[in-house]
Amino acid sequence: MLSRRCRRALKLPDPGTSIRRLTSADVAAYRALRLQGLRDHPYAFGADADEEAAWPEHHWQERLERRGTFGAFRGAALIGTAALSVDPGRKHGHRGSLVGMYVAPAGRGTGVGRQLVEAVLALARGQVETVELSVAIANAPAIALYLACGFRPYAIDADAIRVDGLPVDDILMRRPV
């Protein structure tokens, strides 16, 4: 068996990690991990931690039901999430968005991010023609992951969000499924 360091160098998935779609039983763990990501990396998300922390539990439940949200688990611990969001209607239904991508520090460099992206893309096949995403221009590790997964930049969204009054530019990326 390869060491974790060797697996990381070869970009092989961590054998102790499993990926599955989240269910209502995962709401508490999902909420905790999402809020951790929003608090630790406010420049990486368009959502605000304090606003989402105030949401009632049923809102979190509805989010899981509305989106195809995947979780990466190491044992029983949720260490990463990513979701497919598809806008309803004939005019937008051909496009999906990869949203809510976050991997906790314990899962980084283990292939978990790639596994989550691949799970979202597998769900998208047959539902949409293109998957799009938005990533902070300064988030080099995420950009590298998305490029490796076949996403290509198509625009810059200048001043996409503001964090404490400071503008954050995003790179818009997409790929066919």
- 46: in domain: yes
- 86: in domain: yes
- 2: in domain: no
* Phi and psi angles of residue 23, each rounded to the nearest 5 degrees, phi first: -125, 180
- The parent domain of residue 34 ranges over 17-176
- 90: in domain: yes
Q: pTM for the full model?
A: 0.90
Sheet holding 77-86, edge to edge: 17-21, 68-74, 77-86, 95-103, 130-136, 166-176, 152-163
Q: Which of 165, 173, 105, 166 is nearest to 135 (CA)?
A: 173
> Mind listing the pLDDT tens digit for each residue in 66-123?
999 999 999 999 999 999 999 988 999 999 999 999 999 999 999 999 999 999 999 9
- 39: in domain: yes
2-6, 99-103, 131-135, 157-161: least confidently modelled range: 2-6
The total domain count for the chain is: 1
- 9: in domain: no
Residues 6+ away with beta carbon under 8 Å from 54: none
**CATH number of 54's domain:** 3.40.630.30
- 8: in domain: no
- 66: in domain: yes
> Mind listing the pLDDT tens digit for each residue in 9-46?
445 566 789 999 999 999 999 999 999 999 999 999 99
Looking from the CA of 65 toward its CB, the CA atoms found within 13 Å total 8
